[in-house]
Structure 1
Amino acid sequence: MSEPAHESEPVRIPDHDLDDLVATVTQLVAESRKQGETLSRLTDEQPPQHDGKHDEPVHTDESTPTSALEDSDATATGAERPSSLFILALDGKAYAEELAALTTWVHYLLLPVYGREITTGRPWCQQWHEHPEAVARLHALWLAWQQLTDIEAGLAGPSTWHRDHLDSALLQLRTPDGPFGACTTSPARPNHRLLASPEPAGV
């Protein structure tokens, strides 16, 4: 009878799966760049600023203070661009779309490469998207991945992502007292349960 693999033994990916993994990573990188370009366009689309050098002087009604016009412009501009890229700042359709994109990245890149085996010391939950802390940490990890695997991040970008983001995120998510502490600890016994969080103190 063969000895069980030690928990620290590295995961081996069969050679025939590597081509699929490379294609998936390439597709995810392309999608991430497209999303970044879209967000950049939304952020950059602002009304042209008047510098007063070549334009005709602007005449305003004396009954309308200049500050009110500026506030109106700021409100219109703010409505066109997202206030935050972080998923917890989104709601409705925007949240659903971001969660769907995050799920693709988690299922096709993060778990196949970095998932490791489920054990009592390293729990996981197939319904991770129902754990708010897991969604927040995984989304932050994905945002960092998009930035640090971009060619503009330089040659050390991926190493920085592993060191500063991946290791700490997985340590927090998969620790026995983390968000999945009451979920699956053995692949043969799937389980999902949300742990109760502290009640806010009364005001």
Structure 2
Amino acid sequence: MSEPARGGAEPVRIPDHDLDDLVSTVTQLVTASRKQNETLARLTDEEPSLNDGAVGEAECVGAETSPSAAAQAAPVTSAEAPTSSFILALDGTAYTEELAALTNWVDELLLPVYGREVTTSRPWCQQWLEHPEAVARLHALWLAWQQLTDIEAGLTGPSTWHRDHLDPTLLQLRTSDGPFGACTTNATRPNHRLLASPQSAGA
């Protein structure tokens, strides 16, 4: 048995087969690290400038990983997206198309099923599209109908629509002091007149 070396502990001796495994592991780690550095350098070199209009793989990667790129893209998306599905928030072609779809629903479903007779206590106006309040209330009613008659609304969806949306809407529209108060009160004598709003009445 050999004596310990002076001034310190005996040097560690690693068997040859363990040493070979260690060298192999270190070599693999160095190779993997070199590949990562090369990939990072390639991505950095290929990243397009702000003035470059080309869209490539590097730009896609940058869009996913760069907060600044996401921040620049967000305002464009939010500006193009509609802010509301309510008809009063629409204008131009969007308003015209939504009003046409609403008219079909009112004429083909709402009035045939829920219209009831026109009386002095329950007026109606065939030109309801010219009454802004009627358009707003009927559109809100239609939006609720689309949601609550969908299968995902469950079995109580239609009942909820009748109770929470249909009945209050008709009560507001067809009351004698509602928006149709100066319109048709007798089915044989059609009439249409827009009531003055407080602002226009005081002008």
Normalising by structure 1, report the TM-score.
0.65
56 and 170 in structure 1: CA distance in 2 versus 1, 3 angstrom threshold: closer
- C-alpha distance in 2 between matches for 1:180 and 1:74: 44
Partner in structure 2 of residue 118 of structure 1: 118
- C-alpha distance in 2 between matches for 1:153 and 1:58: 36
Task: Output the amino acid matched with 2:187.
Answer: P
Aligned residues: 142
Could you say what the CA RMSD is over the residues aligned between the two structures, in angstroms?
Answer: 2.6
Partner in structure 1 of residue 134 of structure 2: 134
Displacement of 1:199 after TM fit? 1.1
178 and 75 in structure 1: CA distance in 2 versus 1, 3 angstrom threshold: same
- Aligned-pair identity in percent equals 76
Displacement of 1:69 after TM fit? 6.7
Identify the structure with bigger relative contact order (alpha carbons < 8 Å, sequence gap 6+): 1
- C-alpha distance in 2 between matches for 1:57 and 1:149: 40
Task: Give the greater-gyration-radius structure (CA).
Answer: 2
Give the gaps of 5 or more residues in structure 2. 1-60
More helix by share: 2
Partner SS state of residue 166, structure 2: helix
Displacement of 1:56 after TM fit? 5.9
Displacement of 1:79 after TM fit? 3.1
Normalising by structure 2, report the TM-score.
0.65
Give the gaps of 5 or more residues in structure 1. 1-54
75 and 175 in structure 1: CA distance in 2 versus 1, 3 angstrom threshold: same
Aligned 1:14-53 pairs, distance under 5 A: none
